[in-house]
Structure 1
Amino acid sequence: MLVAKSNLIKKVLGLNVMETAVFAFIVTSGMIDGGQEPIVVAGSAPPYTSPIPHAMVLTGIVVAVSVTAVALALIAQIHAHYGTIEVDELKELP
């Protein structure tokens, strides 16, 4: 499991894998068998696929990319200052 590793970059990669799994779950949960596009004509209401989960996933992707960018920038600063990105070694520093 990547998140349990002591390397900070592996932790960020593990977080990205979990985010992708959650996004896939949300998109597939919004699907309806035989569902149509969400274009409703007056007088008819066929079963349609809700666009809300897809919009939530798009927002989540933007947030995930931002969090990943900030995390990698912090890891770069940690490496520049301490010379390591291993959590075990960082814990031993004074």
Structure 2
Amino acid sequence: MDAHAIKARVSGRVQGVWYRRSTQERARQSGVTGYAINLADGRVEVLLCGAREDVEAVAAWLWQGPPNAEVTSVETEEIALAEGEAPDDFITG
């Protein structure tokens, strides 16, 4: 399978609603590594790395998020990672 990486910036009510932790759980269940961090402007930035189909499934889930989230926008971009640059786990910051 292809190694695939997407960086997403998620807008809406996504801070203070367990969005990062829920994203971490979903990613780990799918075998996807990366991170989810709060940005100063109220968005959450997410890096997803793994098999293309798994990354795309988690990226699609970002529109839903946990029950208390209200996602209004998910901006994604494919990124190229050098060999060995992908994280070994999914972390939240």
The TM-score with structure 2 as length reference comes to 0.30
Greater gyration radius: 1
The TM-score with structure 1 as length reference comes to 0.30
Higher strand share: 2
Higher relative contact order (CA 8 A, sep 6+): 2
Higher helix share: 1
